[in-house]
Amino acid sequence: MKVKQFRLLAVTAALVLASGGGFTLSANAEAQTGTVQTQAAFATVGFDAVKKATGDGTRPGAKAMIIDVRAAEKYQAGTIPSSRNVPFSDKPDLAVLGNWDKAREVIVFDDGAEGQSVTMANVLKAQGYADVKIYAEGLKGWQAKSYLEVGTQVVQAAFNKNAAVLMDARPYPRFLGGTIPGALAVPDSDVEKLASRFPINKNEPIITFCSGFDCDKSHAIAGYLWSNGYRNVQVYAAGYPAWKAAGLQTTEGGAKPAAKPASPAPAASAPAKFVNGIKLGADEGSVDGQWFKEQLQANKLPAEVLLIDVRKEGVYNNGHINGAINKPVADLSSADIPKDRIVVFVCMTGSTALESYMKIQKEGKADMSRVYYFDANIKCNEKGACEIEPNEPLG
């Protein structure tokens, strides 16, 4: 990666440690007086390096921590995919960086005016981040060459005004289970087949979304659109979960069947259905989410169970369920399903696991009584410690 040294001009940054482990930042811009004082030196990176650092566009898939120092309103209106917002202030809040390894790469940017990003770089350096770089072109440089990530307010405004084409990149059963009204179903696995449905006008605003910040499907669609000449593309990275959590209109519910006469309650509830030692979920091909979570955490899964993590290799390496093997959905085929094992697909949001199940089912070569998917939000660290939250059945 080609970098050049970029020295802080016209900015004097003083870092004063405050009580409680925090700090206060004061900045004095002296350009107007002609005074130049160098505070620190940082490497700068160009668009290609930042694009590479975004990885697959998701936060877990990013290869560097990318920090947008602009105000929260500007960040929500449009930012570089996977970036975190640390608004420039006299007391920057670095909590959003979480447990990011301070030895790993950090890239800071603003609107391209340089001052705020460089000053923030000094803050990070003072806090022990060792590999801090500046994207001097900032958002202005980025948006001329790639798509943006936007927040809920932008999508809501476009929805209210019918001002953009919304594309749901999740598997079709997820789309049927609930989506943003008016959205098109464009599963990322079918993007080329569905390209004829895209707008003729390549300047038409398009917003893609899927299952949240950990889902790369909306980024895959956005990348495809950009590479095919669409220049007004945005990704709603928070996705359908954030839209639903905000209480905004969805397609869930639908017409209810006519009421039936009340019937006597059964003497006892129907027993849970198990097949090959697996408790089945309400949706075809799924395992019972809560049961499977409990078995995982207690290390009591049947010995025949093989967990296949169907995410991309880089994301898998950042953290996965102990014992799970990696086979990205793009490379998956029926040949990867052992005949003497019970396979359960897992991912981060449940969407790619469902897609994998549907792919194997469509091939028609595997015994589907031995193939399942776990529909859950899963976040694991590099040591295999996982937070698991099963999703509600699609119904």
Output the pLDDT for position 253: 61
Question: Average pLDDT of each block of 10 consecutive residues along the chain (395 residues)?
Answer: 42 37 40 32 94 96 96 97 93 91 96 81 94 95 97 98 98 95 96 94 97 96 97 97 96 57 50 87 95 95 96 93 96 96 96 96 96 96 92 85
47 & 113 share domain: yes
Domain end, chosen from 126, 143, 160, is at 143
- 253 belongs to a structural domain: no
Sheet holding 206-209, edge to edge: 148-150, 233-236, 206-209, 165-168, 184-185
Identify whether residues 201 and 71 lie together within a single domain. Answer: no
The pLDDT value given to residue 113: 64
Q: List Cβ neighbours of 348 (8 Å cut-off, separation of 6 or more).
A: 60, 214, 215, 311, 315, 377, 378, 379
> What secondary structure does DSSP assign to 240-300, as a single string?
HHHHHHTT---S-S-PPPPP----PPPSSPPPPPEETTEEB-SSTTBBPHHHHHHHHHTT-
pLDDT at residue 41, rounded to an integer:
80
- DSSP code of 210? -
Q: How many residues does the chain have?
A: 395
> Within this chain, do residues 106 and 17 fall inside the same structural domain, yes or no?
yes
Range of 118's domain? 4-143
> Are 132 and 15 in a shared domain?
yes
Angle at CA of residue 284, ends 240 and 330, nearest 5°: 65
Euclidean distance between CA atoms 332 and 335, whole angstroms: 8
Rounded Cα distance between 114 and 119, Å, is 9
346 by DSSP, 3-state: which? strand
Cβ-based burial of 257 (10 A; exposed 0-12, middle 13-18, buried ≥19): exposed
- Is residue 184 in a domain? yes
Residue corresponding to tokens 């940054």: 13
Q: Domain tally for the chain?
A: 3
Residue 83 lies in a domain: yes
Considering the domain architecture, whether residues 280 and 380 belong to the same structural domain is answered as yes
Tell me which residue of 67, 47, 158, 156 sits closest to 120, measured CA to CA: 67
pLDDT at 22: 41
- pLDDT score, position 115: 74
In whole angstroms, what is the distance from residue 216 CA to residue 237 CA? Answer: 9
pLDDT on residue 36: 28
Is the pTM higher than 0.85? The answer reads: no
What is the reported pLDDT for 7?
42
Same domain, 64 and 10: yes
Domain assignment present for residue 26? The answer is yes
pLDDT for residue 383? 87
- CATH code for the domain of 362: 3.40.250.10
